[in-house]
Structure 1
């Protein structure tokens, strides 16, 4: 309990007199925020082009870029609406070794918006890879996901859309769909594989490492 109090005190010193902000946030909420555990509500299709929904979509795209993420859901920025965005650029993939790119089946994903998405499993084969989440910052664990899925829904223009994803793109889509149902990868992970991704740096720095929650 002492560690928790020290952490809270550390955050309190970051910005004296700081006030509350309102969602949609420009940051990603962290595990423990009730928003992450609520099933999100569908968006009335005739409101997709309204300013409120369009603002939410633009904010999702902004936070996706800000954090350099491959997927971002509305609950992660504090709004329980069934919307997520995903993208994986060639530049991001270039930072990963060719062997891992091949093993994980990574491929370029253009910026894609899904409103009221529904998931259908095409290939029930489950693949296990290490997975992380911006809402569980600086941790990862092995997670089994279906190899191939179909996502249907609406795009940012309110038009019907459908995409089939395989391997790593399928993992991203499944991860974001879980967020819309109030689930986190920690619910289905192999618990023995959970790790702090910077554990080696903590040791090298003799414990003098703070886990960042901003990019």
Structure 2
């Protein structure tokens, strides 16, 4: 979801199915509900600590590093709405396997959130987790400004999200599917998400601050929306330039 926590060296691979090597990447094919899809995902090493969050919105210099196990911007699976998971399929080996792979990719990246389309699977599933260790890599002033607190792993199937207040905030975000870049995005500060957990039970999460931002970012993925579709365009930059001043006329970071 947003920013880097710390630089990562080696990377893990993960995949949906055996794939045929391409130049620096591979193609996987699978199906859900009778529909087949093909997705290109990178195999190169590297990664950034928080496919979605950390520091002012970024962190260490990692531009152009590729997060293994994730498909990248331009792949159709990231730009089309995902399909709902039938309640009766939640406990199936296929869906549980997708969830396990998502958690593995998110943690190996490492990141704080991931949506199923990011591993090439067009299903409405998100996972998110923010730990005290991840948060410790961000400057204290940014942690306070972002209202960032640790929370345990959440797996949400068929999430439905709504804002619960009119409060918003602007901060930098990044994405494991758009490696090496950041941009400012305005998000609601308070949301409620309902859906199913990985056991098929109904669940509801009320969140604020940074956790609310992660939930919005991940739910956007399920609609085929990337953060760059919502960004303040003139703030878009490579990670190395994250700390440079915002252009004249851009909104200031923080709550509004």
Task: Give the TM-score, by structure 2 length.
Answer: 0.69
Q: Aligned to 2:132, which of 43, 65, 90? A: 90
Give the whole-Å Cα distance in 2 for the aligned partners of 1:98 and 1:199.
20
Structure 2 residues without counterparts, runs of 5 or longer: 1-21, 31-38, 42-67, 243-256
* Shift, 1:54, TM fit: 0.3
Normalized per residue, the structure richer in helix is 1
- 1:124: Cα distance to partner? 1.9
Alignment match, 1:136: 178
The CA deviation at 1:186 is: 0.6
Give the structure 2 partner of residue 114 of structure 1: 156
In angstroms, what is the RMSD of aligned CA positions? 1.8
User: In 1, Cα distance between the equivalents of 2:29 and 2:81?
Assistant: 20
User: What is residue 27 of structure 2 aligned with on the other side?
Assistant: 20
Q: After the TM superposition, which residues 1-215 of structure 1 pair with which residues of structure 2 at under 5 Å, given as runs?
A: 12=23, 14=24, 20-22=27-29, 27-199=69-241
1:19–1:28 Cα change, 3 Å: closer
- Residue 92 of structure 1 and its aligned partner are, at CA, apart by 0.2
C-alpha displacement of 1:22: 4.0
Quote the offset at 1:46 in angstroms: 1.1
> What is the Cα deviation at residue 21 of structure 1?
3.5
- Secondary structure in structure 1 of the residue aligned to 2:95: helix
Q: CA shift at 1:20, angstroms?
A: 3.4
Any idea what the Cα deviations from partners look like across 1:107-129, whole Å, max 9, x if unmatched? 11210000000001101211100
Aligned length in residues: 186
What SS does structure 1 have at the residue aligned with 2:200? coil
In the alignment, structure 1 segments of 5+ residues that lack a partner are 1-10, 201-215
TM-score, reference length from structure 1: 0.82
How far apart, in 1, do the equivalents of 2:26 and 2:183 lie?
34
